[in-house]
Amino acid sequence: MERERTRVLLVEDNPGDARLVREALNDGAPGEFSVEVADSLQRALESLGPAVEAVDVVLLDLSLPDSQGLETYRAIHARDPAVPVLVLSGLNDESVGLKAVNEGAQDFLRKGRVDSELLPRAIRYAIERHGMVEQLRQLAVADELTGLMNRRGFLMLAEHQRSLADRKGTSLSVIFIDVDRFKSINDRFGHEEGDRALKELAGLLLRTFRRSDVVARLGGDEFIVLMADINDDGVPIVLDRVRKNLEAFNQENGFPWRLSISLGVALYDAAHPVTLEALMASADQSMYQAKARSKLAS
């Protein structure tokens, strides 16, 4: 029995670029992909939705005759949120491509680097990641209080990301977050205010981290974040942003309590793999060391 082909909707108005994509897929995975080309946003939208044959993945050029930039991705996503999108970007579109990823696109690829090895693999990963996210949405993985992922959801998605990092040879970072003196908020102001503090922190974390990062509440006053594709130099920048946003929150809000947190970080190197449990334990230990140093300093 012949295997069903992966149906690709290529949204690209440049015939030369469209030809290169077709050739890369045919050379890299003969017979695996079926490619339909739409040379405008309008034609792409007509190829998506419940009334037409399902598309497995969209390869999207953001610069089209009838749409430019991030609005191109938003229109495609609004038309069919269930289909994964890979953004194809030129040099002038890289920053917009990253913004599209932050809004939910699976990845962005530079047109000049699309080849017969990279493109089929990127499509497979995009479909796999998107399927995992959709599966998670259908499970009971949301924390009831904050709306973040709960422990179960985090473990499932983080393990998937760790496996992808192993296959791609990329890095991961786990940030463990604990609220300082949380019991005193409950004791002084009541559990309703304690719950409010946790919800406010959850919102702050969502505003601080990228949309592609996995932010979760493990339980109680413990939170965790998994960041993919970030190197050692990028982590201090992220931690500084968390602290600055927290400082601004405490200065601007009118609550009777102040939020204070301790942070611990563990880096995952695909060249020296460890289990997800070991990575989380390392981040947890780092957090407790930071908390102990803070107590000594005060």
Measured from the Cβ of residue 224, the count of other Cβ atoms closer than 10 Å reads 26
- CA dihedral (123, 128, 130, 132) in degrees, to 10, reads -170
> What region does 219 belong to: left with phi over 0, alpha with psi -120 to 50, or beta?
left
Measured from the Cβ of residue 136, the count of other Cβ atoms closer than 10 Å reads 19
End-to-end CA distance of the chain: 70
Which residues have C-beta within 8 Å of that of residue 282, sequence separation ≥ 6?
174, 266, 274
Residues with a known catalytic role: 221
